[in-house]
Structure 1
Amino acid sequence: MKRKTIDIITLGCSKNLVDSEHLIRQLKGVGYDVTHDSTNPKGEIAVINTCGFIGDAKEESINMILEFAQAKEEGRLKKLFVMGCLSERYLNELSTEIPQVNKFYGKFNWKELLKDLGKAYNPESEIERTLTTPKHYAYLKISEGCDRACSYCAIPIITGKHISKPINDVLDEVRYLVSQGVKEFQIIAQELTYYGVDIYKKQMLAELIEKIANTPGVEWIRLHYAYPAHFPEDLLPVMRKYPNVCKYLDIALQHINDNVLLNMRRNVTKKETYELIHKIRKEVPGIHLRTTLMVGYPGEDEIAFEELKTFVKDIRFDRMGAFAYSEEEGTYAATKFDDDIPYEVKQERLNEIMNIQQVISSELSAKKIGENIKVVIDRVEGKYYIGRSEFDSPEVDPEVLILKQNGKLIIGDFYNATIVDADDFDLYAIIKS
């Protein structure tokens, strides 16, 4: 193990990744070498940033902690620290059950880690980050917590009430990241559309995005994790007006059956959902919608599931993910409803809904053949440059593959491309001369 080297391991969502990037910058500022690679740890100290959202994520986090705890027992690691959502939620239990960990921190007090290492947190570097993404794009977290009361979700239990980051602070971070070479911003929050209500007493997402769009050097802005109830419709003219606001919206809808939506406490109806989608598509022509759906929620009978399938076929989402309901302790659903749908049935429904979407995605991709699009190049892989269009978010969406024989391209630069082929997952393009 290398002295003065710290390994940061980030699990879970991109919001955790942002926290890790701020921590890495602080640690480097006080003289540590820092790596961000769980598969090849080499330092004398490890920090695991955990996820506690659903069962699979919690299991992954616990397994990672145990793996590093064993390394510490075997003398391959000097100190082990744990932070993040799982630690926030189960701080006392984890401290008792895994004593090999030197200290557990919650979601928000990770700055104490610097003090416990005998160093001091530097407030002058508050907005600075060491990016773990390719240097041309970054995730930009504009709030913490959530005020929604979805019955199945443990996030408010873990992170607390919604807290917006002031507009000027967000813009300072944008300008800093632009100065570091960032051109593309993935705007993230647990729930984007509530932004501003706590500090400005009204929804301010549209105004914030407009200000970011007017910041020199910002090439693309992409919006993640919107909520359908009380959607801020003043955002739509901003998306339509500014070419650097990607025609892309990630809006988690979860279900369409009215009874399921009611029990989920989503505060939206089937009729309102259809109306919102049609309005978004009318106001922002060409927009690509990504959504997440849940199958197997308590009380989801065959009629409700058939309604969900019809919804997917009707709307033809450009991007869609789905997951099976899993009961989370402490949530409203866990206390009010029996988890009455067998695991096998949940998995069958999940496979069925995703098979429907795969056909839709393939058809939509095939329609793009012959289109001219703007792409950014993320990396080189084998014989291809790997890029994305404005309709593709990193890690989760299709990519655009360009043969290297088409000429030399620069990572992080934008190019005009023509789509020449498509498969179930990706597009293939050539660069326009």
Structure 2
Amino acid sequence: GPYTSRPYDEVMAEARSLAAHGVKELIVVAQDTTRYGEDLTGKLLLPQLLRDLNELEGIKWIRVMYLYPNNFTDDLIAAFAECDKVCKYIDIPLQHASDRLLESMNRYDTRAQVEELLAKLRERIPGITIRTTFIVGFPGETDEDFAELMDFVEKQRFENAGVFQYSQEEGTVAGAMENQIEPEVKENRYHELMALQAGISEEIHQEREDEELDVIVEGFDEENPALAVGRSYHEAPDIDGNIFIENAAELEVGQMVRVRILQGFTYEMVAELV
């Protein structure tokens, strides 16, 4: 069915209630979050929503997930840059880099348009982290298409990226397409792209060594209770890695603390309290 936005006042009322109950991080998410409000007023309301949420007392972070590139307006970029509580974390599902495959997926953007947007985001939002997702093995994906995707990922150096193998589903347009990719080819491409991204993520985490970050404490290591587990604005819950804080037995879940990164690994970092 069509996109349906929750009423603006209802969203704000829930956010106020969460803030009143001590919630520190709000996550704004939809099927395509950039389109919020389009069906309510004919306008894209996400920039205004972020500015209003940014005024709420008690909230420390506002994280926005699932932002498609074609409605990523200059006003939305400005909201990310201006609002101090909005995490400089962009979750933008790109799916591929081959124009031919993007068209086959019914995506509205070309590789050149995406590259232009990514450059603008990095220029206008200091300290930005970009997460994305890709699909390998979509029907008709050639070796050349996959090589183009690998080249794109290598050049863009995303902080976080997820990779999925295309799954043929009965009753879908793509499921009925010719040139379905063999399972072993999909598997090989998945591992190759994941290995490339793992190396990039590790390099970025190592570059953060000695950097100071605010981290929200989410729990403690089962084997070592003095080792707290948390996240900075660079990591979304459940999908990105964690930061392990040494000598942190006195901390409490939900507490926000300042740490210094000691070591960076592929998916995790180790830190000490400042």
Aligned partners of 2:56 and 2:6: how far apart in 1? 18
Q: Does structure 2 retain, via aligned residues, the 8 Å contact 1:327–1:339? A: no
Percent identity reads 36
Q: Does structure 2 retain, via aligned residues, the 8 Å contact 1:365–1:422? A: yes
| 3-state SS of 2:180 partner | coil
| 3-state SS of 1:267 partner | coil
One-letter amino acid matched to 2:198: Q
Other-structure match for 1:250: 91
Other-structure match for 2:210: 370
**Count of aligned positions:** 271
Pairwise mapping of residues 46-65 of structure 1 onto structure 2 (< 5 A)?
none
Pairwise mapping of residues 170-209 of structure 1 onto structure 2 (< 5 A)?
170-209=11-50
**Partner deviation per Cα, 1:314-350 (whole Å, 9 max, x = no partner):** 0000000011111223322224x12521000000000
Return the offset for 1:407.
Answer: 5.3
Pairwise mapping of residues 404-415 of structure 1 onto structure 2 (< 5 A)?
405-406=247-248, 408-415=250-257
**Residue 385 of structure 1, aligned match among 228, 233, 257:** 228
Aligned partners of 1:408 and 1:391: how far apart in 2? 24
Aligned partners of 2:59 and 2:154: how far apart in 1? 35
Contiguous gaps of at least 5 residues in structure 1: 1-159
Aligned partners of 1:280 and 1:395: how far apart in 2? 24
Q: Does structure 2 retain, via aligned residues, the 8 Å contact 1:228–1:276? A: yes
Contiguous gaps of at least 5 residues in structure 2: none
Aligned partners of 2:43 and 2:19: how far apart in 1? 28
Aligned partners of 1:201 and 1:361: how far apart in 2? 39
Taking structure 2 as the reference length, what is the TM-score of the superposition? 0.96
Aligned partners of 1:182 and 1:280: how far apart in 2? 28
Q: Which has the higher contact order (CA 8 A, sep 6+)?
A: 2
Q: Does structure 2 retain, via aligned residues, the 8 Å contact 1:205–1:235? A: yes
Q: Does structure 2 retain, via aligned residues, the 8 Å contact 1:399–1:426? A: yes
Taking structure 1 as the reference length, what is the TM-score of the superposition? 0.61
Aligned partners of 2:56 and 2:47: how far apart in 1? 15
Return the offset for 1:406.
Answer: 4.5
**Partner deviation per Cα, 1:344-368 (whole Å, 9 max, x = no partner):** 0000000000000000000000000
Choose 1 or 2 for highest CA Rg. Answer: 1
One-letter amino acid matched to 2:15: V
For the pair 1:417 / 2:259, whether they are aligned, the reply is: yes
For the pair 1:222 / 2:63, whether they are aligned, the reply is: yes
For the pair 1:297 / 2:138, whether they are aligned, the reply is: yes
Return the offset for 1:202.
Answer: 1.3
Pairwise mapping of residues 25-424 of structure 1 onto structure 2 (< 5 A)?
160-335=1-176, 337-381=177-221, 382-383=223-224, 384-403=227-246, 405-406=247-248, 408-424=250-266
Return the offset for 1:285.
Answer: 1.4
Other-structure match for 2:272: 430
Aligned partners of 1:196 and 1:330: how far apart in 2? 30
Q: Does structure 2 retain, via aligned residues, the 8 Å contact 1:206–1:232? A: no
Q: Does structure 1 retain, via aligned residues, the 8 Å contact 2:88–2:128? A: yes
Q: Does structure 2 retain, via aligned residues, the 8 Å contact 1:164–1:196? A: yes
